[in-house]
Every structure is written in structure tokens, then in C-alpha cells.
Structure 1
Amino acid sequence: MHGKVSDMFSGPIKLFHLSDIHFGLEDRRALSWVEACITREKPHAVAITGDLTMRARHREFDAANAWISALDVPVTVEVGNHDLPYFNLIERFVTPYKRFARIKRLVEAQLDLPGLAIVPLKTTTRGQWQRFPWSNGWVTERALDETLDAIDSHPPGTRILIAAHHPLTERRERDGKLLTINGTRTMEVLAGRGVAAVLSGHIHDPFDLTVDTAAGPLRMIGAGTLSRRIRSTPPSFNEIVIDGARIHVTARNLEHVATPDMQIRQVPENALPPRESGEPVAPVGAVPPVDPPVH
């Protein structure tokens, strides 16, 4: 699915990169602030990299769909692991995107801007035989092929941003635990295609890392959360400015914490607050004493 953005502007492109809103445990103050920023600043596009809801309940989707529908800018939405039905396995496997109905045209939508395209990459799956629960990432061959076909359809010189829910790190650094299946190969193939950066969410802390692959470096940009389920940073979103070959990332937040203090240096396993030695923590260190309960 393609979304054509007006080509009547010139100069730098400003994107807002949101993730992990988790309606059901959303931070209303943070959402009101982001909505005001979008209304006032009119970014050229908004990329939301998944986990709109907490438990994929109908009432959570109703709130998410209404909030996103009210945004008066081009939007693309990725599907997060929390957005697939938890309690209705028939729906999860047969019609997993049914509850996105009101914003269906935005789900995994490609956005085309002057000289730049945001291309989706599906990292969530309905089930995984390799492990349970099915919360971590998996880039299937079909998903990767669809993304590569979309990349190859653009004219030479088009800058490509990939939008995905899960970071593509395949193994956790400290113990080699499996995170995103097929992530290493995916990063290598995307680097070989000259992808400018991969935008993702899932872990609730922002980051801006460059990974060395066999095909060259690949930039990985993660957004924080806009929920009350924080990890080690206050609620935030990324402002991304693309100016020619330069991509500048600002982790904007209501606490006015500087971007370097918001960004973690490694990709952790999940969105739980760090409780064990060796788990990455952002310099700001805003670790909650308890994780909000999910009912």
C-alpha cells in the first residue's frame, strides 16, 4: 500500500517517529503533548512503529484508532506484538488485523516523499514454533522479500527508511539469547541495499546505533514509549530530520532530558524495566520502582 505525500515542498524533511503507545496503559499527558506538537509543527509524516494497544482489546483499539484518525498528517502504522489478539486465537490466526479496521489504509503503508520513502518491514508473527510467548521478532522470508521488492521499485538515489516494530538485533549481547529471528541476515541485506536507517520500537527506550554487517554499516533508530510502561527513560518520541545525506535524531520528551541522556547503548531483550546487572540503562536512569500492572 502506498501513500503519496505532497511533493510541493523542498528542503529538509521532518518526521515524527512514535512507538509503543499502548492504549490501555497510555500516558494521557504525553499523548496530549505529542498531539499538540503534530498540530502545531505539521511534520511531513508520522511513522508509528507498533504496539498501539496493551492487550489488543476492542476498547483499546477503539481509542487507538480514534486518536490516530484525528492526526492531520500522513501516517504509516506498523503492527506490534501487543496488537495481535491475545484471547481470541481464532481471530489471531485467521483475521489478525481485523481490529485495525478504521485505520486499515494506514497499516503497513508505504509513504513516498520527495527523494525519500518509508518502507514497512513486518517483524510480528501470529505464532512461532521456535519459542513461546510470541512477543519477540521474526523476519520471515516472505516479509523480507516484500520489503526488498518495495525498495527495488524506487528510482536509484531514493533514500529509504525501513519501519518495523522489533529491532533487528538477533542475539542479546551479554548471553547470546535469541531476540529477532533472521535479524542478522536482514540487516546485512538492507545494508547492501543502501538503506539509510531502520526505525523500530518495542523496547521503550530510544536509541541510535550503527551496526556493522558483512555488507556495510546499518543505522538503527529506536523510539521510546508514550505509555506509563516506561523502562529507563521518560515517555518520548523521535523527531527525525532528513537533510540530504544527513539524518538528525532528537528524542523529544516532556522532561526536557537531552537526547544523549535518553538513548541506550545496547538493545535489550524486551520492554521490562531493567532489574538485573548488565541490562542496558539510559544515562538518565529513570527506572520505575515497579512496572504498572496490566489487568
Structure 2
Amino acid sequence: MASDKLLFHLSDIHFGLEDNSALDWVEREIAERRPDAVAITGDLTMRARRHEFVAAERWIRRLDVPVTIEPGNHDLPGYHLPSRYLNPLGRFEAFRELVEQRLEWPGLALVPLNSNVPAQPRLNWSKGWISSRALADCLRQIDALPPGTRALVTVHHPLRETGTSGTALTRGGDQALDRLARRKVLGVLSGHVHDAFDIVEQTPSGPVRMIGAGTLSQRIRSTPPSFNELRWNGETLDVRVRNLEGVESADMMIDDVPEDAMPPREPGEPVAPIGKVPRTDPPVY
């Protein structure tokens, strides 16, 4: 019989440009709340440099709860092409066992889907690409779950294929969503856009819930650093956006995935106001 599950959904920490106050807060929350798992949906690092991965591993090892990590586009070497082609995840070596790990409980599973490729026929390699191999592997894992188990798919890029073939956010995203809809997945957890969202995407095979986490870095877009708290009671999945600024969860969520998915603003650039609330400790939301 399925029991209640508490999951923390983190994304886009960007070690190298991380928000240390936000990370300290999240670490305290994990120590106190003891979630059943932490899902990190990509961009652990800023430039995929060794010292950034060392800092990421040090922080993750301290959490002392089950963790699964999806690589993000920032985690692939962009400046050393041989490494990018031949061993794109090589710098995860010290904690490779946590990368794309399926986590499973009675009635619920976290199943990985890789949205990164070493190269693609467009100039902007930061955007996602669901290869046929990656999708087949994800579907195989879902199909192998015990009967009645609901799947939450973890992926870095939102599975949204907007615009033309050259500007699409995630190539192959539409097909992936359609295949996931056929399997009635509970939701798709992603990151990349640095703002949280909880929307329903329609496909020919039915609806799919897409849930995005914000960032825990200094590279904010329109909302302060945050993470998602997910509660599953066997029937419903509740998503709450937690943040240090005291902003209500609903106000933290954007209405849709940005079509351009442009990189977030750098530290020091102005942020659109969302109802400024003084920073509090402990956090309210």
C-alpha cells in the first residue's frame, strides 16, 4: 500500500555562482524535514569546471537523503570539445551513482530522462534535445515498474517544443510528452528556466502535468531563489514553491514556459518586482 511521500525538487544550483544563503537554508530544511528524496533537475554547475563539481559533491554528500541528479546543459564541458564528445559526464565521476538514478517506493517512482546531447545541428547548444535512445530508455524504465506505480519523470529541459525547428526549446519534446501521456505519468519535473511553474500540457494522447523548479543560484530571472516541495498521498500530488522572501507559492509560479528560454539575468541586473517581502528566518514559504 502506497504511503505519503515528501520530495524536494531542486534545480539550477549553478555552483560557481550559487546563492549560499539559499543553499544553507535548503540544507537546514532537508536536515529538519527529512524528505524521502531530493531530485535535482540539472545545472549543478556554472561552467562544468572541476572545482564547481567538487563543491557540488561536497554539498550533496552532506544531505544524507536519497538523491537523484539529472545533468543540465551547464554540466557538459562547453570549452573542451573532446571531453564533451567522448565523456560528457566525466566530471560527475565522484558521484556518478547519483546521476540519472531511478528511485522507487510502493506506488511511486522517480524516472530519469536525459535532455542533453554532446552536439546538435543548431548554434544554441543550451537548448534541449530528447534523443530516441534517451526516450526509449525512460519509457523502458516506466514500463518495468510494478503495476499501479505512478512515475514522476525527471529531466532538465521543459518538454516544450515551441517555435520553429531552429528555435524550439526542446527538440523531441512533443513526442516525449505524447509517449509519457500514454503511460499516464504523474508529472514531469524540470528546471532550466529559473522560475517555477505547474502547468498542464495537452498532447494527442492526453494531458501531462509539467512542474518546473526555480533556481538556487544568483542567476535569478523574475523570482527569488526557491525549490519545490512535493507531497504525494497516493492520489494527489501537491506542489508548493518554497522561498526565503516570504512570497506566496502561487505568486512564485510563472504562467507558462518562456518560448525563448533566454539565459537568466546576471547578478546586479534589476529583477521584476513580485511583491517584495523582507527576508525572514525561518522562511514562511
Q: So what's the TM-score if we normalise by structure 2?
A: 0.91
Alpha-carbon offset, residue 244 of structure 1: 1.5
Q: Which residue number corresponds to residue 106 of structure 2? A: 114
State percent identity of aligned pairs.
55
Alpha-carbon offset, residue 176 of structure 1: 9.5
**Residues 48-63 of structure 1 aligned to structure 2 (within 5 Å):** 48-63=40-55
Find the aligned partners of 2:114 and 2:275 in 1 and give their Cα distance. 31
Distance change (3 Å), C-alpha of 1:282 and 1:194: farther
Q: Which residue number corresponds to residue 140 of structure 1? A: 131
- Deviation by residue 1:145-194 (Cα, 9 ceiling, x = unmatched): 00000000012210100000000000059x99411001111101100111
**Residues 153-172 of structure 1 aligned to structure 2 (within 5 Å):** 153-172=144-163
Find the aligned partners of 2:272 and 2:248 in 1 and give their Cα distance. 11
Unaligned runs of 5+ in 2: 266-270, 277-285
Alpha-carbon offset, residue 284 of structure 1: 2.0
Q: Which residue number corresponds to residue 6 of structure 2? A: 14
Matching of residue 238 in structure 1 with residue 231 in structure 2: no
Residue number among 255, 258, 277 corresponding to 2:248 in the alignment: 258
Alpha-carbon offset, residue 88 of structure 1: 1.2
Matching of residue 37 in structure 1 with residue 44 in structure 2: no
Alpha-carbon offset, residue 132 of structure 1: 1.2
Alpha-carbon offset, residue 78 of structure 1: 0.3
Unaligned runs of 5+ in 1: 1-6, 275-280, 287-295
Structure 1 ranges of 4+ moved more than 4 A: none
One-letter code aligned to 1:137: G
- Deviation by residue 1:83-114 (Cα, 9 ceiling, x = unmatched): 00121111111111111111100000000112
Find the aligned partners of 2:174 and 2:272 in 1 and give their Cα distance. 24
Alpha-carbon offset, residue 260 of structure 1: 0.7
Q: Which residue number corresponds to residue 186 of structure 1? A: 176
Find the aligned partners of 2:107 and 2:275 in 1 and give their Cα distance. 38
Distance change (3 Å), C-alpha of 1:229 and 1:29: same
Find the aligned partners of 1:233 and 1:50 in 2 and give their Cα distance. 18
One-letter code aligned to 1:35: E
Please tell me whether the aligned partners of residues 49 and 199 of structure 1 are also in contact (alpha carbons under 8 angstroms): yes
Find the aligned partners of 1:248 and 1:283 in 2 and give their Cα distance. 26
Q: So what's the TM-score if we normalise by structure 1?
A: 0.88
Please tell me whether the aligned partners of residues 119 and 150 of structure 1 are also in contact (alpha carbons under 8 angstroms): yes
Distance change (3 Å), C-alpha of 1:65 and 1:26: same
Please tell me whether the aligned partners of residues 202 and 271 of structure 1 are also in contact (alpha carbons under 8 angstroms): no
Distance change (3 Å), C-alpha of 1:176 and 1:218: farther
Find the aligned partners of 1:165 and 1:283 in 2 and give their Cα distance. 26
Q: Which residue number corresponds to residue 279 of structure 2? A: none
Please say which of residues 190-199 and 261-270 is displaced more in the overlay.
Answer: 261-270
Please tell me whether the aligned partners of residues 261 and 283 of structure 1 are also in contact (alpha carbons under 8 angstroms): no
- Deviation by residue 1:103-152 (Cα, 9 ceiling, x = unmatched): 100000000112111000000111002x1121001100000000000000
Q: Which residue number corresponds to residue 198 of structure 2? A: 208
Please tell me whether the aligned partners of residues 76 and 88 of structure 2 are also in contact (alpha carbons under 8 angstroms): yes
Report SS of the residue matched to 2:109: strand
Find the aligned partners of 1:34 and 1:223 in 2 and give their Cα distance. 14
- Output the aligned Cα RMSD: 2.0
- Deviation by residue 1:265-292 (Cα, 9 ceiling, x = unmatched): 1101325348xxxxxx998278xxxxxx
- Deviation by residue 1:222-273 (Cα, 9 ceiling, x = unmatched): 0000000000000000000011120000000001111110000110132534
One-letter code aligned to 1:167: P
Please tell me whether the aligned partners of residues 223 and 238 of structure 1 are also in contact (alpha carbons under 8 angstroms): yes
Matching of residue 196 in structure 1 with residue 186 in structure 2: yes
Find the aligned partners of 2:48 and 2:203 in 1 and give their Cα distance. 35
One-letter code aligned to 2:17: L
Please tell me whether the aligned partners of residues 18 and 46 of structure 1 are also in contact (alpha carbons under 8 angstroms): yes
Please tell me whether the aligned partners of residues 232 and 285 of structure 1 are also in contact (alpha carbons under 8 angstroms): no
Please tell me whether the aligned partners of residues 8 and 39 of structure 2 are also in contact (alpha carbons under 8 angstroms): yes
Find the aligned partners of 1:217 and 1:133 in 2 and give their Cα distance. 29
Residue number among 174, 189, 209 corresponding to 1:219 in the alignment: 209
Report SS of the residue matched to 1:150: helix
